[in-house]
Chains A and B, each alone.
Chain A
Amino acid sequence: MIIETANLSLFYKKFQALINVNLGIRENMITGIIGPSGCGKSTLLRVFNRMNETIDGVSITGSVKVDGEEIFSPVCDINMLRKNVGMVFQRPNTFPLSIFENVIYGPRLWGITHAPTLDGITERSLRAVNLFDEVKDRLKKPALGLSLEKQQRLCIARLLAVEPEILLMDEPCSALDPIATSKIEGLMIELKKKYTIIIVTHNMQQAARIADEVGFMLLGELIEFDRTKKIFTNPADERTFNYISGRFG
């Protein structure tokens, strides 16, 4: 397991948003987290790179290990963790810079200044998201001029530039049309060969299509976690069945 949680609970002041979550994420797979709005999906996702700590009043109990290392340990390097566990959000958060500057932003922060190296990183990262051929002649042009779908791919390329192991995707296709969504989904299937991907989605059909394993959450609890085929053909818990069949949620 590349990520393991044990008795993980999270509180926003007095409100308990995650209740005793025990979960194992496998390497080089797409893990989907589904559930109704407010069930704690995004909160759980943000635990894995400690992004919840940017919110006031958050407290966490339990254990979370990434690559066998406890991420809440005082010796954990939070910057290294966030380099290794990158995140893509619902709306592309492209920087108001050129395409090239967006991609090399992270590597520069990590001390890489050698121009040929940065060029190589840019090409590698953009090729990995099938974007290089489309933008290679306008790398110095503003990234915000790209379509939303290409901007989202650029955001993923920006993550890949710092060579993470794990990609967290919080509803990455919500802002995209069906064709753009299909392209991003195809990209995720390609990327899982090299990376571990965890995707939160309110679109359970998306989870059914692309995830290898799926976790269903409800009111802060992880109700069921299993192979996608099992969840969608024979879920163990009635609440899971009621959600995936549209009876509630």
Chain B
Amino acid sequence: MDSHFDEELKKVKQNILKLAAMVEDSITKALEALKKRDPGLAKEVQEIDREVDKLEMSIEETCIELIARHQPVGSDLRFLIGVIKMNNDLERMGDHAVNISTTIEYLVDKPRIRPIIVWSMARVVKEMLTESVESFMNNDAVRAQKNCEHDSVVDEMRDETIRILLTHMIEEPEKITSAMSYILVAKNLERIADLTTNICEDVIYIAQARVIKHHAEAGGKKE
């Protein structure tokens, strides 16, 4: 039979997974809003973000209370520290989703461009997010480590996006506003990818007590 504390930890895990689902939904809707240039969908993204902010504060408060009341050690402590960090990263991803959705304001009545690479980048970033959440759910450090490797791919896609859109801007100056908007979208997607990498680093820390952040050596620093 699980102890009272174990029950509390389960609730924390359920809530952080709920937050992750909300953020995934927010990013999906933001990209859809951008593709369809739909202000209604963009508004939905902002509403989701308000709920994300509330849940993030609640999760943080709960973690702090559990640390104060139960003085956890070992994997329980790493779990709560990891959740606090993941909580913060997910909330920031939600903010980036809002940023993506608000670029619609700059695209209304502007000439359309079709930066296919942005949508490819979005697909990779969403897969990275799904993988990071799955690796947290299953405490799978191996899966998390593999996922970190995709971050450099996204960085390259961002650079390629900027190069392509700069070309658009030089050749078709009337599309500068649209191109700049998509550059901002690419930068927000790249930041989301960085944050999913943070989550994977947190999963490795929780599961194996290894610190691999700041591109430490491949083996990571064990605590």
Contact code string A191-208 (vs B, CB < 8 Å = 1, else 0): 000000000000001001
CB distance from B58 to the nearest CB of A (A): 13
Q: Which residues of B contact A189 (CB under 8 A)?
A: 4
In the complex, which residues 61-98 of chain B have their Cβ closer than 8 Å to any Cβ of chain A?
Answer: 64-65, 68-71
Task: Please tell me if the beta carbons of A208 and B69 are within 8 angstroms of each other in the complex.
Answer: yes
CA distance A17 to B12 in the complex (A): 43
Task: Please tell me if the beta carbons of A209 and B5 are within 8 angstroms of each other in the complex.
Answer: yes
State whether the Cβ of A141 lies closer than 8 Å to any Cβ in chain B. Answer: no
State whether the Cβ of B3 lies closer than 8 Å to any Cβ in chain A. Answer: yes
CA distance A186 to B70 in the complex (A): 14
Residue from A185, A205, A210, A233 within 8 A of B65 (CB atoms): A233
Q: Which residues of B contact A185 (CB under 8 A)?
A: 4
Q: Which residues of A contact B69 (CB under 8 A)?
A: 208-209, 228-229, 232
CA distance A189 to B64 in the complex (A): 21
Q: Which residue of A lies closest to B67 (CB)?
A: A233
CA distance A81 to B65 in the complex (A): 36
State whether the Cβ of A182 lies closer than 8 Å to any Cβ in chain B. Answer: yes
Contact code string B1-22 (vs A, CB < 8 Å = 1, else 0): 0011100000000000000000
Task: Please tell me if the beta carbons of B3 and A186 are within 8 angstroms of each other in the complex.
Answer: yes
Residue from A182, A186, A210, A233 within 8 A of B68 (CB atoms): A233
In the complex, which residues 194-249 of chain A have their Cβ closer than 8 Å to any Cβ of chain B?
Answer: 205, 208-210, 228-229, 232-233
B4, B5, B64 pick with most chain A CB within 10 angstroms: B4
Q: Which residues of B contact A228 (CB under 8 A)?
A: 69
Task: Please tell me if the beta carbons of A205 and B71 are within 8 angstroms of each other in the complex.
Answer: yes
Q: Which residues of B contact A233 (CB under 8 A)?
A: 64-65, 68
Q: Which residues of B contact A186 (CB under 8 A)?
A: 3-4
CB distance from A49 to the nearest CB of B (A): 28
CB distance from B110 to the nearest CB of A (A): 50
Residue from B3, B5, B68, B71 within 8 A of A229 (CB atoms): B68
Interface residues of B (CB under 8 A from A): 3-5, 64-65, 68-71
A-B contacts, 13 listed (Cβ < 8 Å): A182-B3, A205-B71, A208-B68, A208-B69, A208-B70, A208-B71, A209-B4, A209-B70, A228-B69, A229-B65, A229-B69, A233-B64, A233-B65
Since A182-B3, A186-B3, A229-B65 are in contact, a sample of 13 more A-B pairs with Cβ atoms closer than 8 Å, ordered by chain A residue number, is: A185-B4, A186-B4, A189-B4, A208-B68, A208-B69, A208-B70, A209-B69, A209-B70, A210-B4, A229-B69, A232-B69, A233-B64, A233-B65
